[in-house]
Amino acid sequence: MARKIAAGNWKMNGTGAALAELDSLTQDPVPDGVDVLICPPAPLISRAAAVAGAVKIGAQDCHAKSSGAHTGDISADMLRDAGASYVILGHSERRSDHAETDAQVCAKTQAAVDAGLIAVVCIGETLDERNAGQTLEIVCGQLAASLPDTATSATCVVAYEPIWAIGTGKVPTLEQISEVHDALRAALVERFGDDGLQFSLLYGGSVKASNAVDIFGVPNVDGALVGGASLKAADFSPIIAALAAA
Ligand code: PEP
């Protein structure tokens, strides 16, 4: 069975004061069978790792090279050294703000795995693509091109994040989520055999306490990648509890 993961993506939000929310999150024990992950902005990673307890700390991007003349970039080795154990890669905001391609995401994923990080590889369609009936073609194409052949369920997690649902309050129907997650599971099994059954498949896009129970009830949804509702422990804790109970 795939492991359950409740992942919070703080994006470019928070200075040191925000660590009080992580501290608050650590007051509750992490439920058995669930990985709880917070991905703060890079400057907070080492301070977050120092206070995270059983909560895992991740980054939001890494460079594909391990070192060199890449001003402003951060390598996977550096993130690992700073205390990260996960890294989000290919988030739609990276793909749009920095024109990241599937090939770049794939190279970053390989770098992350080589450095001992677990990669959370994000894929998802635009609203135009969904309305054109291209959702499965788009997401399965992104999955194929963003995961290296060396990917395993122990080193890579897939997050399905419809771009039109991120930060908008709009959520696909449970049937739409199910259709995509089933297709992703089938694609993972086709490519990786039995190990494809073990990859954690996260849903992301306007997950909140009020919709988490229903979303986690969808087959092949093994957790969530959460933006806005991960910034406050009071909002994220019920999502973690819903996943633990699913
Ligand atoms: C995200 O940042 O990946 C995300 C899903 O954001 P939100 O939960 O705010 O829609």
**Ligand 1 contacts CB of residue 227 (under 6 A):** yes
Mutate to test the pocket of ligand 1, among 38, 97, 206 (most ligand atoms within 8 A of CB): 206
What spacing in Å lies between the alpha carbon of 123 and ligand 1's midpoint? 13
pLDDT of residue 48: 98
What spacing in Å lies between the alpha carbon of 203 and ligand 1's midpoint? 10
pLDDT of residue 150: 96
pLDDT of residue 25: 96
Q: Is the dihedral of CA 142, 146, 151, 155 positive or negative?
A: negative
Q: Is the dihedral of CA 214, 219, 223, 226 positive or negative?
A: negative
Q: What ligand 1 atom has the least distance to the C-alpha of 88?
A: 3
**Ligand 1 contacts CB of residue 226 (under 6 A):** yes
Catalytic site residues?
91, 161
CA atoms in the 13 A half-sphere facing the CB of 162: 25
Residue 77: which of 107, 105, 120, 115 has the closest Cα?
Answer: 115
**Ligand 1 contacts CB of residue 60 (under 6 A):** no
pLDDT of residue 171: 95
Residue numbers in the chain where pLDDT is lower than 50: none
Other C-beta atoms lying within 10 Å of the C-beta of residue 33:
10
What spacing in Å lies between the alpha carbon of 167 and ligand 1's midpoint? 5
Tokens of 33: 């069978």
**Ligand 1 contacts CB of residue 93 (under 6 A):** no
pLDDT of residue 1: 85
What spacing in Å lies between the alpha carbon of 196 and ligand 1's midpoint? 25
Q: List CB contacts of 147: < 8 A, sequence separation 6 or more.
A: 106, 109, 121, 156, 158, 191
